Structure 1
Amino acid sequence: MPGTVASPQPQVHVRGPIPAAQVDYARTKVAAAFRTAPRPVLFVRLTIERLTDQNPGRLYTVRVHADVSGVDLHARATAPTVTEAVDLAQGRLRAQLARTSRWR
C-alpha cells in the first residue's frame, strides 16, 4: 500500500559549489517524490553537480538512482539552476512511479 513504509533519506553526493540550502531543497523534493511509491523504497542516491566546461545555459545536473523493491529507477535533469534541475528530476521520478503501478 503506498505510503505505509517510510522511504529512506537520500544519500546526497555534491560535486562543485552548491549552497547548503539548495542541497536541502533537493533532498526534500526527492524524498517527497517517493512518498507515493507503490512498494518499499530500499535505497535512494541523489547527486547534484555543477558543470564547468559545458553549455553555459545548463549549469547544474541532478541525478537520482533508487531501488524500489528490486526495481531500479533513474532520473536525470540538467538546467540553469539547481532548483529547476531538481524540479525536473522530481517530475520524472513521479512519472516513473506512476507507471510502476502496473508492476506485478
Structure 2
Amino acid sequence: MRSLASIVLGFESLVLALVTPVMISVADVRPAVAVPVCIGLAVLALLATGLLRNRVGYALGWVVQAGAVGLGFVVPVMFVLGLAFASFWVAAIVLGRRIEEAKKAQQAHTG
C-alpha cells in the first residue's frame, strides 16, 4: 500500500508545484499567496510520502487531497486534477490493502 500511495503523492507534489505559475498568471492570484499555498501543499505531499510508515502520513495524504480539490475554487481545472488525484489516492489505499492481504494469505498458505 505504501509504495502505491507514495507514487500518487510524488506525482501530485509535482502537479501542485506546477499550479503555482498557473494561479499567478491565469487566476491573477498574488505570488505572496500562490507560492506558499501551492508549494506548501507540494511540500506537505512530500512530507506525507516520507511518513507513510505511520498513520500520520496517510492523514497528511488526505489533507493534501482536500487541499488539491480546494484549489479548484481558485483554478477550476484543479477540481478535475484534484479529484483525479484523490481517486488515485483512494485506489492506492484500497488496492494496496488487497495486495497486502493477498501476500499474507499466500505466506500463510505456503509457510
TM-score range, shorter chain: 0.3 to 0.5
Query: Which protein has the bigger strand share?
Result: 1
- Higher alpha-carbon Rg: 2
Name the structure where helix makes up a greater proportion of residues: 2
Comparing both chains, which one has the higher relative contact order based on Cα–Cα distances under 8 Å and sequence gaps of 6 or more? 2
TM value normalised by structure 1: 0.35
